[in-house]
Amino acid sequence: MKRWFRTLVITIFALAAVSLIVIQFIQTRRTFSISDNMFNVSVNNAMDEVVHQMSGEVFQTAAHPATAFNYQDLDSLIVEELLLNGIDLHPVVGIYDGSQGSFLYTSDSRREESLERSPYRYNFSPIGVVSSGQYFIILAFPETELFLQSNTKVYIYMTIFLLVVIATMFFISLRTLAAQRKLDQMKTEFINNMTHEIKTPISTIGLACEMLRDDSVSQDAATRSNFLGIIADENQRMRVLVETILQSAKMSNKNFSINPKKVDINTLVSTVLQSFRLTLSNRGGTIETHLDADPSVLDADELHLTNMVYNLVDNAIKYSVDAPRIEVGTLCKEGHIILTVRDHGIGIAKENQKRVFEKFYRVSTGNVHNVKGFGIGLNYVSQVVRLHHGHIALESELGEGSTFTVSLPMV
């Protein structure tokens, strides 16, 4: 996925999400306004009926409502009429004498201030007569606004929750697509590099075989031996390459295990270094050895240990400029055998050193991109070290070279 396309998709999604939030907010405000208006209409309709029923009774039975009015009946009547008009809230009820400026009755004396501020105020009027009296029935709905808002907030919260879920899934999908694209690219590079790496020893072996068919070459024992050595070295190189790929795939299985036996690390390193004599000779390089481990025997899987050493030395040669100068050493320290492979090549930047052991990762800065490789060699090395309960460390400076140090327990 190209950067501009990913940016476009994210921008469109962000605009759509913001638009949806704005629309939802406007619609919620509108719904709240409509609900509030409908609530007021319902209350007014209910109270019109209450006043119509009660006014005549009050003013026909007594000169003063305070002495003749049944307040409990009024409460019941108000609740009943509100229910008939679709409102299931129980309001605070008060009867207010405007001429005296005081309440004749309140269903909750603690809410008198709320009753005084309430807009739900209804004047008593005798039936069929426009009264100038100052008696009012006042209702206070302390939960009304909260009740209406709570209903709308549920939808707001649900909308926000769904937007968060959609956004999360959207970005997870983008990351998955990007990771998939990166994986496809790495696989393509892996196949290209693998083809190149395998073609090189095949071509060298083919050329050596052609030379051996020449009678003048085949009759010279020294020359024939040299070409046979080339074939053996290149065959070993190709075997290690293929083995690294196969074993790396097998190590991905959690049930994978090694087959340890007694292995002499000094002998093993010497044997591996012999397979690089042709490469070093062609590039004018040298390998300096300090095989000082004594005792040098440890319990290890010989195949994987051989491939591990091969990969470390092969990397040291590949990432060296001009004539490679490689130093390989072993020593014993605190019950461990320490193997070091040092080169004086191009080195690895600090920010890349932690990732060099990742599968398929290849440093793409400096001159490193000019070197062919699988991107699984050091990952394979780290897995071999882990399976042997050892430790691997890297020290490197750009332009000065790299040193890989492997510590393996003797038992």
DSSP code per residue over 41-68: HHHHHHHHHHHHHHHHHHHHH-SSHHHH
Per-residue pLDDT at 152? 59
The pairs formed by 107-116 with CB atoms below 8 angstroms and a separation of 24 or more are 107/71, 107/75, 111/140, 111/142, 114/140, 114/142, 115/139, 115/140
- Beta partners for 404? 341, 394
- The one-digit pLDDT tens for each residue of the chain (411 residues) are 566 766 777 778 777 777 777 776 776 666 666 667 788 888 888 888 887 776 655 444 444 554 456 677 778 888 888 888 888 888 888 888 877 788 888 888 888 888 888 888 888 654 444 444 577 888 988 655 545 555 556 666 777 787 788 778 877 877 887 777 777 777 777 777 777 777 778 888 888 888 888 877 767 788 888 888 888 877 877 877 777 777 777 776 666 778 899 999 999 999 999 888 878 888 889 999 999 999 999 999 998 899 899 989 988 998 888 889 999 999 999 899 999 999 998 888 888 888 888 877 776 544 444 555 566 788 889 989 999 999 999 999 888 899 999 999 987
Q: What is the pLDDT of residue 281?
A: 83
Distance CA 262, CA 16 (A): 66
Q: Give the distance from CA 261 to its chain's centroid.
A: 42
* Single-letter code of the amino acid located at 271: T
Pair 109, 102: CB distance under 8 Å: no
pLDDT of residue 62: 46
- Which amino acid is located at 346 in the chain? I
**CA 350 to mean position of chain CA atoms:** 24
Give the C-alpha separation, 388 to 386, whole Å.
Answer: 5
pLDDT at position 375 = 67
Q: In angstroms, how far apart are the furthest CA atoms of the chain?
A: 145
Residue 201, burial from CB neighbour count under 10 angstroms (0-12, 13-18, 19+): buried
Strand pairing class (135-140; 92-97)? antiparallel
Tokens (6 digits) for 298: 């440890």
- Which residues face 337 on adjacent strands? 332, 408
Task: Identify whether the C-beta of residue 118 lies closer than 8 Å to the C-beta of residue 137.
Answer: no
Contact 103, 94 (CB under 8 A): yes
Distance separating alpha carbons of residues 115 and 13, to the nearest angstrom: 49
Q: Contact 92/139 with Cβ under 8 angstroms? A: yes
Distance CA 390, CA 338 (A): 10
Whole-angstrom CA distances from 238 to 186, 198, 204, 245 are 21, 6, 11, 11
